[in-house]
Amino acid sequence: MMERRIHPILAAFAACVFFFLLAPLVIIIGAAVSDTTYLTFPPQGLTLRWFVNIFQIEAFRTTAITSLQVAFLGTALSLLIGVPAAYAINRYRVELPRWLSTIFVLPILVPEIVFGFSLMKSVTIGLGLPIFISLLVGHALLILPYSVRVVGASLAAFDFSVEEAAISLGCPPLKTFLTVVLPNIRAGVIAAFILAFITSINDVSVSVFLTGPGISTLPIQILAHMEQFFDPTIASVSVLLMFVTVGVMAVVEATLGLTFLTK
């Protein structure tokens, strides 16, 4: 069998793409380990004291916990709403109007700044909800389209005749959904969870309108820190956020395998 050779132009283009993707990461990591009191690249000396500094600042510790809580609870709430919604849209696509599925995409179509301001006026001020609950509702609505769309993609390939066969044999509808439908779309549910969680924990545009005294998220605290300081602590926090993202993907790879999500 003849070995196919890659065209030099194609190889050069691929190298440029990899460089474009990896260069910002290298710059951030280099700035995070720089032994200076200001952000700089290439690093001047190597140190890990800026990573230690993150845990010494109480604001970073508290906002990191808040971000994780909002991300986990918001993602769970969006899946709790999004999975049944995606099921209904795909199961009864003939009976339901076509515009119904568009409603769940509105948080993506509307600019996040406008969406965040609307949530502040309607949820925080209008309903008078506490700041944490407002954050939770805002993040759940923001990532709801990802839950509906990703889970819906898995349901689009699901054969609903299997569900009908289980019901015809006497299995209750809810039990059928939990034991027949849900196991077949678990790849979509896991992929939706990962995408929604990462989107929530890195959100700025919506969170900036919903945070308040005593409660904030890590990305908002990063912005507040930059207003007073311009040290490598900011780069260190960014590196840790990247490690969290990589860690989530590593857990999926170790337990299920990334190819599992493409099924």
Which amino acid belongs to residue 39?
Answer: L
What whole-number percentage of the chain has pLDDT above 70?
90
Residue 212: strand pairing partners:
215
Closest CA to 28 of 259, 200, 233, 170: 233
- In degrees and rounded to multiples of 5, residue 181 shows phi and psi of -75, -50
Q: What is the mean pLDDT of the chain?
A: 82
Inform me whether the pLDDT recorded for 96 exceeds 80: no
Inform me whether the pLDDT recorded for 260 exceeds 80: no
Convert the pLDDT of each residue in 185-233 to its tens digit.
Answer: 888 888 888 888 888 888 888 888 888 777 888 888 888 888 787 888 8
What ranges in 94-130 are assigned the alpha helix state H?
100-103, 106-109, 112-119
Minimum mean pLDDT range among 141-145, 195-199, 247-251:
247-251
Inform me whether the pLDDT recorded for 159 exceeds 90: no
Where is pLDDT greater, at 95 or 84?
A: 84
Inform me whether the pLDDT recorded for 94 exceeds 50: yes
HSE-up (13 A, CA, CB side) for residue 211: 20
Give the pTM: 0.80
Tokens of 36: 């200076």
Inform me whether the pLDDT recorded for 258 exceeds 60: no
Per-residue confidence (pLDDT) for residue 80, from 0 to 100: 92
Tokens of 163: 């569900």
3-class DSSP state of 229: coil
Per-residue confidence (pLDDT) for residue 97, from 0 to 100: 67
First vs last C-alpha separation in the chain:
31
CA dist 130 and 215 (Å) reads 10
Minimum mean pLDDT range among 68-77, 232-241, 244-253:
244-253
CA dist 40 and 99 (Å) reads 50
Give the pLDDT band (50/70/90) at residue 75.
very high
Which amino acid belongs to residue 256?
Answer: L
Angle between helices 112-119 and 131-156 (to 10 degrees): 130
Distances (CA, A) of 40 to 13, 83, 257: 29, 45, 38
